[in-house]
Amino acid sequence: MTQTPDNQAGPLLERLRRYQDILADYTRLAAEARELERLLHLTCVQAARGVGIRRSKIMRHRPATGDMLTEAGVGWRPGVVGHVTAGTDTSEAPGRALQTRQPVVTEDLPNDPEIRHHPVLAEHGVVSALNVPIAVDGVVWGTLEVDSEVPRHFSGVDVAFLATMANVLGMAIGRMLQERGAEAATRAAAAEAERQKVLMRELLHRDKNDFQLIMALLVMQAGKQRDTGARQAFRHVQDRVMAISMAHDQLALRPDASTIDLADYLRALCGNLGQRREGVRVEARCERAELVRERAVPLGLVTNELVTNALKHAFPGGQGTVRVGFTVDHDTKEGCLTVADDGAGMGPPRPGSAGLELVRTLVAQLAGTLRQDSPGQGTRFSVTFPLVV
């Protein structure tokens, strides 16, 4: 084992202690850094301070332009940092470190037969240099370099110090790039979400215009009918279009949501239907549940048909109440709609009536079941269906 002479042991230990202290501080600062430009400058300052020379720099590989750009540095004239480039081939020290992923020591640059003496280094009188690669996620990102104006022998300790600093820097750069990527992804997602909101508002606005156009056409055609039954049929269609339109109104009230609050929707429907016949109230007691539009609309149409039928046929005396309820069975994940009146009841099916046939069709769309009974007075309908299919 080679022994270090006593007259060299003291300076070597002192250098090791200095390197250890610098690396301890630098590692902490790199872990806390949030701005890449400041971290690169700090790295150059600490590298020059540690090795004990005036000049250092960091060069970043630019694959798109096939060169290496001086990103940061200390001890250089104005115009070097941010502008001066070097080649990526092995005839230049940074390029060789980039290509080989190994430290490159050049102790006599003016006379080195394999390494070109870069004009900027010659301009500053640099004769000795040490380059180490900076790797980010397994790929060489650039190089960290220290430059001396006097002939300098770079020992293994010097190389290890600078390589450790480059490794710490590489990990910090990788973390920053990941954070920037995450921030960019978040911004992109937010922009896309906002775009979808604008698109949804526009679609809802167009839908509303379409419903109003359809309603205008139905009213116009109904006015042309001389037959009472035909006019009544147009009135039924208008009611159904209104029920669908109100579902879209509920979506418009919640532009950030893709579902309809069934309680709000059914209350709005009942509030509209309650104005149809004087003396008959329409009450709604509904538990909250979120339903996609494709399932909320059929349920709204079922409610519209059942309440309308009750208003028309269940109260020959002109007084009474229609009660609409909605409950959720959280164990079975099922919803139950009930429409009950306290009138005279529905009676036998009327010729030409298609209301209950439509209700059965809509209940089938919901994969539900329809039940009708007469609890002492009036008629009660219940629709049980899965909330999600």
Q: Which residue, 184, 201, 236, sits at the end of a domain?
A: 184
Are 277 and 174 in a shared domain?
no
Are 33 and 175 in a shared domain?
yes
Give the residue carrying structure tokens 């349920």: 299
Report CA Rg, the chain.
40
In 3D, which of 29, 45, 52, 39 has the Cα closest to residue 141?
39
User: Who has greater pLDDT, 290 or 181?
Assistant: 290
Read off the pLDDT of residues 290-332 as tens digits, 9 standing for 90 and up: 988 888 888 988 998 899 888 888 888 888 999 999 999 999 9
pTM of the model: 0.52
Are 176 and 290 in a shared domain?
no
Cβ burial, residue 6 (10 Å; 0-12/13-18/19+):
exposed
Q: Which residue, 184, 201, 231, sits at the end of a domain?
A: 184
Asked if the structure places residue 294 within a domain, the reply is: yes
pLDDT classification of 251: cutoffs 50, 70, 90: low
Helices (H), the chain: 6-32, 36-51, 93-100, 119-123, 156-224, 228-253, 262-273, 293-313, 355-365
Are 157 and 274 in a shared domain?
no
When pLDDT is averaged across residues 98-114 and rounded to a whole number, the result is: 93
Counting the structural domains of the chain, the total is 2
Are 171 and 283 in a shared domain?
no
Taking the C-alpha atoms of residue 235 and residue 268, their distance in angstroms, rounded to an integer, is 19
**Can you give the CATH number for the domain in which 168 is found?**
3.30.450.40
Q: Which residue, 184, 217, 238, sits at the end of a domain?
A: 184
Report the side by side order of strands in the sheet with 128-136.
85-87, 67-74, 55-62, 139-148, 128-136, 104-106
Are 269 and 180 in a shared domain?
no
Taking the C-alpha atoms of residue 337 and residue 263, their distance in angstroms, rounded to an integer, is 11
Which of 65-79, 98-112, 152-166, 169-183 shows the lowest per-residue confidence on average (mean pLDDT)? 169-183
* Residue 1 pLDDT: 41
- The length of the chain in residues reads 389
Q: How would you label 35-48 residue by residue, b for 16+ Cβ within 10 Å and e otherwise?
A: ebeebbbbbbbbbb
Are 175 and 303 in a shared domain?
no
CA 76 to chain centre: 44
Are 65 and 156 in a shared domain?
yes
Average per-residue pLDDT in the chain?
A: 86
Asked if the structure places residue 58 within a domain, the reply is: yes
In 3D, which of 174, 185, 240 has the Cα closest to residue 211?
240
Asked if the structure places residue 237 within a domain, the reply is: no
Question: What's the distance, Cα to Cα, between the start and end of the chain in Å?
Answer: 78
Q: How would you label 142-168 residue by residue, b for 16+ Cβ within 10 Å and e otherwise?
A: bbbbbbbeeebebeeebbebbbbbbbb
**Can you give the CATH number for the domain in which 306 is found?**
3.30.565.10
Contact 105, 130 (CB under 8 A): yes
Asked if the structure places residue 343 within a domain, the reply is: yes
Asked if the structure places residue 212 within a domain, the reply is: no
Flag whether pLDDT at 7 surpasses 70.
no
Contact 330, 387 (CB under 8 A): no
Residue 158 is part of which domain span? 11-184
- How is residue 292 written in tokens? 């996609």
Are 350 and 265 in a shared domain?
yes
Flag whether pLDDT at 4 surpasses 70.
no
Are 53 and 155 in a shared domain?
yes
pLDDT classification of 70: cutoffs 50, 70, 90: very high
Asked if the structure places residue 214 within a domain, the reply is: no
Are 39 and 163 in a shared domain?
yes
Which of 39-48, 218-227, 235-244 shows the lowest per-residue confidence on average (mean pLDDT)? 235-244
Asked if the structure places residue 206 within a domain, the reply is: no
Are 132 and 264 in a shared domain?
no
* Residue 285 pLDDT: 94
Find which of 176-185, 189-198, 366-375 is predicted with most confidence, using mean pLDDT. 366-375
Q: What percent of the chain has pLDDT over 90?
A: 49
Asked if the structure places residue 5 within a domain, the reply is: no
